[in-house]
Amino acid sequence: MIRPLALFGLVTVLSACAAHAQGAADLVDGLAPPIAPATVTRDEKGRAILRAVRIDRPLALDGRLDDAVYAEVPGIGGFIQQVPRQGEPATEPTEAWILFDDTNVYFSARAYDSQPDRIAGNELRRDNQNIFSFNDTIVITLDTFRDRRNGFSFQTNPIGALRDQAITNGSQNDNWNTVWDVKTARFDKGYTVEMVIPFKSLRYSGAGPQVWGVNIRRIVRWKNETSFITPVPPSYGTGGVAQMGVAATLIGLETPQQSMNLELKPYAGSSVTTDRTARVPFDNDVTPAAGLDVKYGLTRGLTADVTINTDFAQVEEDQQQVNLTRFSLFFPEKRDFFLEGQGIFDFGGQSSENANGITPVMFFSRRIGLSNGQAVPVIAGGRVSGKAGRYDIGALTITTGDKPSAAAVTTNFSAVRIKRNILRRSSVGFISTGRFPAVAGHEHSGTAGADADLRFFQNIQTNLYWTRTSTPGRRGDDTSYRTRFNYGGDRYGLELDRVVVGGNFAPEVGFVRRNDFALSSATARFSPRMRGGAIRRLSWTGDLEYISDAHGRVMQDRTLTGNVNIEFNSSEEIRLSAVRRYERLPSDFAISPGVVVPSGGYLYDTYRAEYRLATQRKVSGNFSVSRGSFYDGTRTTADYSGRIGFSAHVAMEPVVTFNWVDLPSGRFTARLVGTRFVLAPSARLQFSSLTQFNPGAHTLSSSVRMRWDYIPGSELFVVYSDGRDTAFGDGNFPALQNRSFAVKITRLLRF
């Protein structure tokens, strides 16, 4: 006989089990999870739950998919087109597997292609944008905390390139790197992929059974077709793979018990440097260097990083730009230490990876360790970043040393960023940055502000922020705020933006292109998709931008722009634009040596045409020409930037820019000619050279860089660069201004 208390306990246990089973059944709007041997279930809308399968021994990673598990475990199929036929089955089938053991998670795919000779695979440089832009690709994204905002992305092409990214609120950081591997192979009906991702390379909530978000995207370049494992709106574009709110659900995965989760990465190197343009010129200065980076998992979500005597000798040279404006140019961050967790510090809807607009960036890490165009020693620094429940946290402090030749003194930089997730995909947050001493003296400068990123339905986003700076000698009128509304539908789009920056607003650990302005802008778009024929999509866009001083008293700029974009099914594009702009120059502007534009108001028109070649071609790129009035004169431009692929291992990437300017105060031609030559024997060994010639600035720069990942996570770099003045040469060769040769080796140790 069952006693009442025991009966009550049994009922309680059964009720809990039933509730757990019901919860599992409701993971995605009532969709039941797949039951072995099935690996996927879907609802009538195509939304999916995927099941990971445990294996007893590691896969033989060769890309061939000949292990027995591929015959025993059904593949995950049913990929759904995003474009060109939204919601229809992919025309080229794909089978995928998600497997795991006690150490790794594996992702494998068999990509069928009806015309395998047209498969595009010609880029092997790690993390290079061309892997995506020019090649067939397969990518898996993992939302390991299932917060529908953040995650990790792993991408490859048919020849086994490696591209990994960190995802923060739908934006992708191309420069995040971790330890993983991939192999690919060809078969008579397509190609196959095998990836291995150690659990140590990921962050997740804890050990044991997991529920993650997951998406898989395949791009077939010759068809210009994009498909996903779950429906993704065309309005998201190919970046929809990073929109974890529409991802599928992954169950069945079990993560191991947390290890020490400690990484040590010592480095050693040496450089020989000459700089004849420094405040104190020097020749052949030999500098040995050694340092250490430490990474420790405080929790499964929070990571602490410590850097000691950080060296950035391996960083690639900046690509030059022609600047015919009175405002500063933006150059993106390229140093690995600052790139990890970078997205957490994005503020107010403005990414620090791409700040070409006039909206300020509150934290811009290029302020750290660089002064007057020279590298400044980084003595030490620390950072904590990651997730704690519903909070995203980023905090860092870094101290740089003095360097008289760069007019740099010992300086401490700090930043704190906290975001709280609200609703399904929205967040509110706070940021604070500081610099001691400030640029102008011995006092402290700081920035503090709050922001909100509100997302509703699929395509509506609102960004709000308010910030204030405290800078020595700049009191009052030191705030900035923004209100932005964006509806980014596939057929229609509307964006309204209001940004105000006070005259004394100066975030000294940020980037501000201009101050003392109020921007009001409105952009409307109509983009119908064509059915049949050569044209896939037409887009008409109109934009009105009005800029006054921060108090709205004096108009500074007014721009009216009309664009027509024709996208072909071949992926080629034609873009036509007309711009009418009024600009008021507050003071005389030296646009070129000996050519000065007087202060005053100017009204001018510009007409531009651009043709973009299909990226899967051996010769591809963008051609553009423009012509119009310019500061009471005329300006004609011609540009080409592209890629010539000689083979899967050899390519050349030329950039040519010409500006012919005829003004009342004089004529000049601004030119920039450059080319990058690439040699990639394998996915882990690459050589590249970059040569840039700017006749107007009388500069010739060149660099050669070798990167060898001799084991995953450990690298050897050899870098040579020099800059020359073409105006004053000795003999037939331009005079040397600066030169450096550096060797650096790192070694990753994991515990």
pLDDT digits (tens, 9 = 90+) for 232-286: 999 998 889 999 989 999 999 999 877 668 899 999 999 998 988 877 788 898 9
Q: Do strands 378-388 and 391-400 pair parallel, antiparallel, or not at all (unpaired)?
A: antiparallel
- Determine what percent of the chain is predicted with pLDDT higher than 90: 61
Residue 398's pLDDT band, with cuts at 50, 70 and 90, is very high
DSSP H helical segments within 572-668, as ranges? none
Contact partners, residue 390, CB within 8 Å, separation at least 6: 147, 420, 421, 422
Q: In the predicted model, is pLDDT for residue 443 greater than 90? A: no
**CB distance 98 to 59 below 8 Å:** no
Q: Torsion-angle region of residue 39: left (phi > 0), alpha (psi -120 to 50) or beta? A: alpha
Q: In the predicted model, is pLDDT for residue 408 greater than 90? A: no
Q: In the predicted model, is pLDDT for residue 6 greater than 60? A: no
Q: In the predicted model, is pLDDT for residue 418 greater than 90? A: yes
3-state secondary structure of 572: coil
Q: In the predicted model, is pLDDT for residue 647 greater than 50? A: yes
| pLDDT at residue 317, as a whole number | 62
Give the mean pLDDT of 323-344: 68
Q: What is the pTM of this model?
A: 0.85
Q: In the predicted model, is pLDDT for residue 387 greater than 80? A: yes
Residue 4's pLDDT band, with cuts at 50, 70 and 90, is very low
Residue 329's pLDDT band, with cuts at 50, 70 and 90, is low
Residue 726's pLDDT band, with cuts at 50, 70 and 90, is confident
3-state SS record for 682-741: ECCEEEEEEEEEECCCCEEEEEEEEEEEEECCEEEEEEEEEEEEEEEEECCEEEEEEEEE
> Which domains does the chain show, CATH number per domain?
25-255 (2.60.40.1190)
Q: What is the DSSP string of 213-281?
A: EEEEEEEETTTTEEEESS---GGGGGGGGG-GGG-EEEES-EEPPP---EEEEEEEEEEEEEESSSSS-
Bridge partners of 290, per DSSP, are: 268
| pLDDT at residue 23, as a whole number | 39
- Determine what percent of the chain is predicted with pLDDT higher than 70: 90
Q: In the predicted model, is pLDDT for residue 2 greater than 90? A: no
3-state secondary structure of 383: strand
Q: In the predicted model, is pLDDT for residue 355 greater than 70? A: no
Tell which wins on pLDDT, 646 or 20: 646
Could you give the CA distance from residue 28 to residue 248 in angstroms, rounded to a whole number? Answer: 8
Range in 87-91, 216-220, 590-594 with the lowest mean pLDDT:
590-594
What digits encode the pLDDT tens for the residues 133-185?
889 999 999 999 998 888 999 999 999 999 999 888 888 877 788 999 999 99
Residue 11's pLDDT band, with cuts at 50, 70 and 90, is very low
**CB distance 388 to 421 below 8 Å:** no
Q: In the predicted model, is pLDDT for residue 352 greater than 80? A: no
Taking all residues of the chain, what is their mean pLDDT, rounded to a whole number?
87
Q: In the predicted model, is pLDDT for residue 728 greater than 70? A: no
